Amino acid sequence: MPDVKREKRITVSSPITVIAGVGEKRAELFGNLGVYTVGDLLRYFPRAYQNRGDITSLCEAAMSGEVSSMILTVGCEPKSVTVKRRMNLTKFTAFDESGKCEVVFFNQPYVKQLFHQGEVYRFYGKVGRSKNMWSLSSPDFESMATSRALPDFYAIYPLTAGLSQKIIRNTVALALASVDIEYEPIPEYIRKENSLISFAQAVQIIHSPQNLKHLGEARRYFVFEELFNFALKIAKNAQKRVGVPGIPLSLSDSDKRSFLKALPFTLTEAQSRVIKEIYSDMASGNAMNRLVSGDVGSGKTVCAAAALYLAAKNGHQSAFMAPTEILALQHYRDLSELFDNLGLKCTLLVGNMTRAARTKALADISSGETDIVIGTHALISDNVKFSDLVLAVTDEQHRFGVGQRELLAAKGKDMHVLVMSATPIPRTLAMSIYGDLDHSAVDMLPPGRQKVSTFLVDEGYRERLKGFMHKQALEGHQVYVVCPSIEGSASDIEDGETSTSGLVDFFGNKLEAPSSRLKNATEYAEKLSAEFSDIEIGCLHGRMPPAEKDAVMSDFVSGKIKILVSTTVIEVGVNVPTATLMVIENAERFGLSQLHQLRGRVGRGKDKSWCIFVSDNPGEQSKKRLDSLCATTDGYRIAEADLAIRGPGDFFSSSGRDLRQHGALEFRMADLCDDIELLYKAFDAAKKLFEKEGL
């Protein structure tokens, strides 16, 4: 059997085990990072860089208290001593023009042979104080006595247990030195038109940049590549729509009047406009593919109800899919009452049903006994057979990928598709991101919607805030507390570093440590439970099993839980009228649009409501963003402001998963801000490719 280590030609498709030093056990560890092939490794990008080329004097490094890079001369021959618990210390002095320090290595006796008096090294570490002199503990070091220039930047990768930065760096370096890269994912003419370097150049630079200019070029390549692939997917989906037939549906004037009369409110101008756009699509003879976006509480559901009514009055079935049972049950309660009054039958289909109820529901669906089916992912199960499905409605579509939407649409023939999003999306961005869907905006709120008073506070208000939360709960109201994390997260920093000190991002900007420790949901819930023993506290986060999440949310909806501590998984669209206070911890960590979504969880009843952003010493830009949110409740204005301030990053980041999941694509490089220009260039390039290739 041939030895895979001796494979003559290593390509991006080769297994990672072809790289020297990567056996089965180490390959398994890389597998934990999603790295299985050489190509996977090359695309395992650094998350930051040590900027060792930014040289400071020893004195400046000591005064800054940060990890720094210094060029020092060894002042004496190293000495090794063994102290208690068999710890070995190797010490020597080093100096530059600004001063002298003691360099100490712990349990690394071999370094005694490496350093000699008078030699010059570049050291990278944090200068501290030991007795009466500066000290440098276990720094990274490189000899200046070399013919080649030392690189300025060293990559810092996300880690997993068993793999250190050194192992990953060395493995990547071996891969880059041995791989035969003939792969180029972007057509040459598109690369030239957009001034992009090649994939081979970009991947070499991203892992081992020589300077910021080259690093910027590499990042630009991979940002463009991600957005270009996304644009191609959107264009392909849009192309599938062209000329696709749809069953033409229409309503008589008397049926329209009956629907409006059955509503317990008068439609806003925006709702009327959107319903007309939906009816025009469904009457055209072509399949409708429309996105309805709207601010929190703008009344998107009634637009969906109008579409469901149209299908039913034409003798066809429709399906309404929600992401959770809680939301599906809420829609079922509201819509079944409306449609009962109009002589139409609704059926509920969710996972948590008795066998008898589920059997009855499936029978009614397959026989055509029911007109409208409201449910969860259960609707796309193989055993769900519709009699005559012509309309699929997906609510809170950011919780579903394109594939799930298409599975529901595949249950019928010549289907009309309507998707709804509670994210107010700027029209210019929607035209690009949702290129496969027509876009309607419900851009005004119904009259009488409760205004939520919004304030920004720091840690100095902590005790007053806790008192206010307690008071609201005791008065029969309910409180949301949103935290940015579930638990503490593991650090990718080694060698005793406890912050992002000394690291830079892809633009060379210093990564600052968070101004305050991130609040995590589990710890915060436990703390509040101990302090508020007279109040039921709940905790909700994404790692909980679905049934457990539904149970917690049900207890909050019913009023059993008075204070719900949660990550951002709290349900968009769930109506809790007695929730009057939303507290958002580390608010600077969220995008404006998401903060506005969270704020929309309160103010849904008759009582006065508040939203409190807690941010300890946010930066100038963060404060500007949060102050702007305190000043307005117009979701579209907020979205436009977020786009202007941060670029589309907020929509692409983890806090804005709707657009990423829309294309079933995770953006790793485009997660950074200010890429709006590249976004439009990528869509232009995708359009040209389709025209050139005749796709």
Provide DSSP, 550-597: HHHHHHHHHTS-SEEEE-TTSPTT---TTEEEEEEETGGGS-HHHHHH
- Does the pLDDT at position 694 exceed 70? no
- Does the pLDDT at position 4 exceed 70? no
- Does the pLDDT at position 451 exceed 60? yes
**Rounded mean pLDDT of 489-504?**
51
- Does the pLDDT at position 575 exceed 70? yes
**Rounded mean pLDDT of 493-519?**
59
Of the candidates 94, 630, 346, 549, which has an alpha carbon nearest to the alpha carbon of residue 638? Answer: 630
Instruction: Categorize the per-residue pLDDT at 633 as very low, low, confident or very high, splitting at 50, 70 and 90.
Output: confident
**Rounded mean pLDDT of 396-423?**
76
**Rounded mean pLDDT of 632-636?**
72
CA pair distance 301, 418, nearest whole angstrom? 11
Q: How many CA atoms lie within 13 A of 615 on its CB side?
A: 21
Of the candidates 653, 654, 694, which has an alpha carbon nearest to the alpha carbon of residue 674? Answer: 653
Q: Is 83 exposed, middle or buried (0-12, 13-18, 19+ CB in 10 A)?
A: exposed
pLDDT reported for residue 659: 38
Number of other CB atoms surrounding residue 7 within 10 Å: 14
Which of helix, strand or coil describes residue 285?
Answer: coil
Instruction: Categorize the per-residue pLDDT at 561 as very low, low, confident or very high, splitting at 50, 70 and 90.
Output: very high
**pLDDT tens by residue, 145-156:** 988 888 889 999
Distances (CA, A) of 160 to 17, 520, 641: 18, 21, 38
Instruction: Categorize the per-residue pLDDT at 432 as very low, low, confident or very high, splitting at 50, 70 and 90.
Output: low
pLDDT reported for residue 595: 86
411 or 502: which leads in pLDDT? 411
Answer whether 253-442 and 452-680 agree in fold: yes
Are residues 453 and 609 in contact, defined by beta-carbon separation less than 8 angstroms?
yes
Are residues 565 and 535 in contact, defined by beta-carbon separation less than 8 angstroms?
no
Instruction: Categorize the per-residue pLDDT at 3 as very low, low, confident or very high, splitting at 50, 70 and 90.
Output: very low
**pLDDT tens by residue, 211-261:** 888 899 999 999 999 889 888 887 777 777 666 888 999 999 999 999 999
pLDDT reported for residue 542: 77
- Does the pLDDT at position 66 exceed 70? yes
**pLDDT tens by residue, 353-372:** 899 999 999 999 999 999 99
Q: Model's pTM, two decimal places? A: 0.63
Most confident of 285-294, 642-651, 673-682: 285-294
Of the candidates 564, 306, 291, 546, which has an alpha carbon nearest to the alpha carbon of residue 436? Answer: 291
What residue segments make up the domains of the chain, in order of their start? 4-49+157-227, 56-146, 253-442, 452-680
Which of helix, strand or coil describes residue 207?
Answer: helix
- Does the pLDDT at position 327 exceed 60? yes
**Rounded mean pLDDT of 527-547?**
90
Cβ-Cβ contacts under 8 Å for 691 (sequence gap 6 or more): none
pLDDT reported for residue 494: 47
Least confident of 111-120, 350-359, 659-668: 659-668
**Rounded mean pLDDT of 568-584?**
84
pLDDT reported for residue 486: 73
Of the candidates 333, 271, 340, 330, which has an alpha carbon nearest to the alpha carbon of residue 300? Answer: 271
- Does the pLDDT at position 593 exceed 80? no
pLDDT reported for residue 389: 95
pLDDT reported for residue 585: 93
**pLDDT tens by residue, 205-221:** 999 998 888 899 999 99
- Does the pLDDT at position 116 exceed 60? yes
Written out in words, the top-level CATH class of the domain with range 452-680 is: alpha beta
Mean pLDDT value across the chain:
85
101 or 504: which leads in pLDDT? 101
Cβ-Cβ contacts under 8 Å for 253 (sequence gap 6 or more): none
Topology of domain 253-442 in CATH is: Rossmann fold (3.40.50)
CA pair distance 441, 639, nearest whole angstrom? 13
CATH superfamily of 56-146: Nucleic acid-binding proteins (2.40.50.140)
DSSP string, 37-92: BHHHHHT---SEEEETTSB--HHHHHHH-SEEEEEEEE-S--EEEE-GGG-EEEEE
Helix (H) / strand (E) containing 208 = none
- Does the pLDDT at position 54 exceed 60? yes
Please report, as a single letter, which amino acid is at residue 380.
I
Most confident of 401-410, 626-635, 658-667: 626-635
pLDDT reported for residue 306: 97
573: region left, alpha or beta (phi > 0 left; psi from -120 to 50 alpha)? left
**pLDDT tens by residue, 12-45:** 999 999 999 999 999 999 999 999 999 999 999 9
Helix (H) / strand (E) containing 458 = none
**pLDDT tens by residue, 163-176:** 999 999 999 999 99
pLDDT reported for residue 428: 59
pLDDT reported for residue 439: 83
What percent of the chain lies above the pLDDT cut of 70?
A: 84
Instruction: Categorize the per-residue pLDDT at 636 as very low, low, confident or very high, splitting at 50, 70 and 90.
Output: low
pLDDT reported for residue 650: 43
**Rounded mean pLDDT of 583-609?**
86
pLDDT reported for residue 526: 93
